[in-house]
Structure 1
């Protein structure tokens, strides 16, 4: 099982890379294949939405087939295949297709790990393990910043994507060889765990709004808008963008590790998630009010957003506390569907917000102020509803 977890982590490194790498590629994809910032917003949104839609069949497959086959098959066919399509792309439509395939491929990797954590380890350790998985996997987020910029400069973006296709296929084969499925829970009366059964768990309804909007700001800005923002307002070149997004990526890694054990430290999952996201909202508000305050000020605020916005593990642990054992696979993927789906929907809309709602005295800064406001508003609504949620115990 340990070797299997190692390769699932490697798969999640790739998943994090694929959701974040467009920000660095944006400056070269525009001149070479005519992919604008709006096109890439659509491509990134497609990745998130396809990933989200896949969570329902992935959850069923985890419970019925097991994590080994589910993760290996989808990552090999979708992830490696999508990277190969991207490497050969001649226009924005091919990028859209590639990101859809990559979204399918990445969709089971984290949830396969969470399924194993929930079935094999103590429930009290779920938040810590979930945070560690995201923290280590976020090395892919880092690789999608300055290291990718350097690689693209050295060998070109097509060769880089071709190499990623081969790497993704190798990781998928290793998952198939080394992951071991937990012992199945025999199906019985009342043990099917349908979607209707999930929807009848009342504790989830006040968690879902924050799950839907908490991940979106850091994911969308790091993965897509950081590059154009830093370039348009501060004239940052790809190397400077790579350094800034690297710092944000490192902050997201640190946030995942920090959030993981905080529920046991404070004895609460709800309030750890609430106050962390409140601080993320403050960073967004500062970016909204002062979008042109300077390159390093912007970089520090982006890093703060990445740090405090990495609350996914503790919100997932909060929701996990409501699931019985026979519904773990469908339960965690159901939550993940909202987290990733919310990010996808907001990414889709963000392109139009940037184009049409940025009205102000500064024609360069105003579109980004509108963009930050667009991500801030739903986060504040999610926090307001989350106050009504029921905490789940984090101490034995």
Structure 2
């Protein structure tokens, strides 16, 4: 239990790092001459390095266990990247720092998910994973108005340096307290290494799940972590404090969403249709913003909250895929799905940066955000359509034989 608590604390840091740029947008633009494209690239670097790390992490979790894998990566890259961010003098240094931080944070949630998959009943997987995500999403809360106030009071460089030291301490705690689960009998003779991913990708039952895994999380974390700041500043004249307050509400809604999704598969006895319902709420909310980019600040905040709540289906979708994973490929299976989830966010960060830049109209800032939200809506609608062909996995069936 102490190890899970330590991983949960580290996951708070991971969630913070993936969303805090929205709040620092004004100060980074002023001090480093960082453009929206620069910040989009920096945010994308976090998610792409995070995603690409999943392949190695999956092998290392199965071979070496979560303790050593997580502690080493979080200390070297997570803590080191945060300290580099604190010393950044140009936008490219911010991008490099974010890439390092993404690599360092990449194993944290997967270590907990790996432990859940190995030692708990499959029927509890969705709620455990969802609630782990919900607890960690407190990092979104810290990365909203608390970060804005701390940056105003102490300066963003000092705040980031302090977070780097806290990240190093978290890595030490993980090494001291996390206990590796025993390997199943199927793995005692050795590991299939990266070839295990080929075996997983041959499972056609996963194919319709993958697009929604890649897109469902992207709008909420992309808007909260990157676009909420520019959107509120450009269309509502919001300053750092106001951006922090609005994104705080969205961050709290993301916490609530993960908690709400957790038990729904048990209540409704389906994973597929709960994910479809939540996806439709997200789609309608994003589409409303595309049609109404400028409205009252209160109404815009309410819609952002709806996007945050409905985008919390990560644990549910992961549980849907988990039901079809062979036991000897649990580590690689969960990291493969996480690769698509985080990789989808990273690609969407880069893509949305291009959409906003290409859609810019001098004197009409709302034009770029119409296209931004329309792009999110189109991608989510496509993923949901493909997901309709997915095979359901009832939570009371455990791991499904193929």
Structures share fold, TM-score greater than 0.5? yes
Aligned partner (choices 318, 328, 334) of residue 320 of structure 2: 318
Aligned partner (choices 209, 212, 235) of residue 207 of structure 1: 209
Q: Which moved more, 1:10-19 or 1:180-189?
A: 180-189
The corresponding residue for 1:124 is 123
Q: Report the 3-state secondary structure (helix = DSSP H, G, I; strand = E; otherwise coil) of the residue aligned with 2:344.
A: helix
The corresponding residue for 2:395 is 394
Q: Which moved more, 1:232-241 or 1:78-87?
A: 232-241
Q: Distance in 2 between matches of 1:15 and 1:135?
A: 12
The corresponding residue for 2:84 is 85
The corresponding residue for 2:400 is none
Q: Deviations over 1:94-131 (max 9, x none)?
A: 10110010011000000000000000101000000001
What stretches of structure 2 of length at least 5 have no aligned partner? Answer: 398-402
Could you state the TM-score of these two structures normalised by the residue count of structure 2? 0.96
The answer as to whether partners of 1:358 and 1:370 remain within 8 angstroms in 2 is no
Written as runs of structure 1 = structure 2, the 5 A alignment for 1:1-396 is 2-186=1-185, 187=187, 192=192, 194-358=196-360, 363-395=364-396
Q: Deviations over 1:131-187 (max 9, x none)?
A: 110000011010000000010011000000000000000000000000000001243
The answer as to whether partners of 2:62 and 2:191 remain within 8 angstroms in 1 is no
Q: Which moved more, 1:296-305 or 1:190-199?
A: 190-199
The answer as to whether partners of 1:44 and 1:344 remain within 8 angstroms in 2 is yes
Q: Distance in 2 between matches of 1:366 and 1:213?
A: 23
The CA RMSD over aligned residues, in Å, is: 1.3
Cα gap change, 1:33 to 1:319, in 2 (>3 Å): same
Could you state the TM-score of these two structures normalised by the residue count of structure 1? 0.97
Q: Deviations over 1:57-108 (max 9, x none)?
A: 0000000000000010000011000000000000101101100100110000
Structure 1 runs of 4+ aligned residues shifted over 4 Å read: 188-191
Q: Report the 3-state secondary structure (helix = DSSP H, G, I; strand = E; otherwise coil) of the residue aligned with 1:115.
A: helix
Q: Deviations over 1:332-374 (max 9, x none)?
A: 00000000001100101111110112569x7111100100011
Q: Deviations over 1:196-225 (max 9, x none)?
A: 110121210000011111111111100000
Q: Deviations over 1:296-344 (max 9, x none)?
A: 1111111100000111110000000001211110000000000000110
**Between Structure 1 and Structure 2, how many residues are aligned?**
394
Q: Deviations over 1:265-321 (max 9, x none)?
A: 100000000110110000000000000012111111111000001111100000000
Q: Distance in 1 between matches of 2:314 and 2:384?
A: 14
The answer as to whether partners of 2:42 and 2:94 remain within 8 angstroms in 1 is yes
Cα gap change, 1:191 to 1:90, in 2 (>3 Å): closer
Q: Distance in 1 between matches of 2:339 and 2:168?
A: 25
Q: Distance in 1 between matches of 2:277 and 2:171?
A: 37
